[in-house]
Each structure stands twice: as C-alpha cells, then as structure tokens.
Amino acid sequence: MRNRVLVQNLAALNRLAVSLIRTDEKNAKAGMRARRKKAGCDASYPEYLLFEVPLPTK
C-alpha cells in the first residue's frame, strides 16, 4: 500500500515540475531537455520557477 502511494506522489511531483518548467517564459527558446538540465544543475533555477525570484546574473 505505501509503495503504491509513494509512486503516485512521486509521479504528481514530476508532473508539477514539468509543468513549471514548461511555463517558463524567460527560457522559452531553450528546449525542454535543456530546461530540465538547468533545473537539475542550477540551484537558483527551481527557486525562480517556484517563487519567481529573479535569476542572478553572471
């Protein structure tokens, strides 16, 4: 029972993450693969997606 609920919760989180990445207008020219990679590597990008905090400039 718990294992099935865990899988469902993880799938819901994955759908939420993909939909947040899809709605990113600032990086609209980048492909989904590039945006997902950026979300995994750059610690400030998920914060930007969730809370609309401006991304730091390099």
List, for residues 26-57, the tens digit of each pLDDT value: 777 888 899 888 888 888 888 888 887 776 77
Residues 21/39, Cβ–Cβ less than 8 Å: yes
DSSP secondary structure, 38-54, as one string: HHHH-THHHHHHHH-PP
DSSP letter assigned to residue 23: T
Whole-model pTM: value is 0.66
